[in-house]
Amino acid sequence: MYTLNEVIEKKLNGFCYGNRILLPFKAQLLKVVIESDIITDFSRSSKGIQIVDQKDFLDLYFLEYKRLSDTLSAYEAIKIVLVEEGKDVFDWNNHRKIALYLTEKHKVTIEETDADILFIE
């Protein structure tokens, strides 16, 4: 299993199939922004995202979308505020903001959001 720092430093990819995104690290999600949908309810009754906690990675299903690649342009990101597994969720400094970009061959680029990307936590 990789840490988020390793993923970003080594520029490791996630993957996207249909409405499913696989991320090569484990984390607690706090907020997800996809297009104009702001998702903060990750309970089982929520229709936004289903999170499946796999052994070594994170599996996300965006239930309102059939194919994410049909919805997001090459320049649009899925933005996530998260806390890496094992880190204190109540420590504000552990809240990290990442942006996911869908690229070719189902690959998902994972970047820490820079100053140009608007993302208000």
Partner 1 sequence: MKKVFFVLITFFVNLNVFALGQQNGVDTVTANAVHSAQLPNPIMVLPFIILLALIATGPIFYKHVWERNYHKISIMLGLFTVGYYIGFLNDFTSVEHSVTEYISFIALLTSLFMASGSILIKVNFKAAPVTNVLFLLFGAVISNLIGTTGASMLLIRPFIKMNRERMKPYLIIFFIFIISNVGGALTPIGDPPLFLGFLRGVPFFWVIQNVFSVWMIAVFLLLSIFFLFDLSNKKKAETISAEAKHPVEVKGAKNLIYFAVIIAAVFVDPKVMSWIPSLHPLPFGIREIIMFSVAVISFKTADTEILKANEFDFAPIKEVAYLFIGIFLTMIPALQLIAHESRVYSSYLTQATFYWSTGALSSFLDNAPTYLNFLSAAMGKFGLNVNLAADVKHFITVDEVYLRAISVGAVFFGAMTYIGNGPNFMVKSISEQAGIEMPSFFTYMIKYSLTILLPIFTLIWFLFFRG
C-beta separation of 57 from 27 below 8 A: no
List the one residue from 20, 31, 95, 106 that touches partner 1 (CB under 8 A): 31
List the one residue from 45, 73, 90, 91 that touches partner 1 (CB under 8 A): 73
Count CA within 13 A, CB hemisphere, residue 46: 12
Residues 3-22 interacting with partner 1 (rule: CB under 8 A): none
Contact between 45 and partner 1 by CB under 8 A: the answer reads no
Count CA within 13 A, CB hemisphere, residue 54: 12
Strands 27-34 and 78-84: antiparallel
Contact between 35 and partner 1 by CB under 8 A: the answer reads yes
State the residues that interact with partner 1 by CB under 8 A. 31, 33, 35-38, 64-65, 72-73, 75-77, 79, 101, 115-121
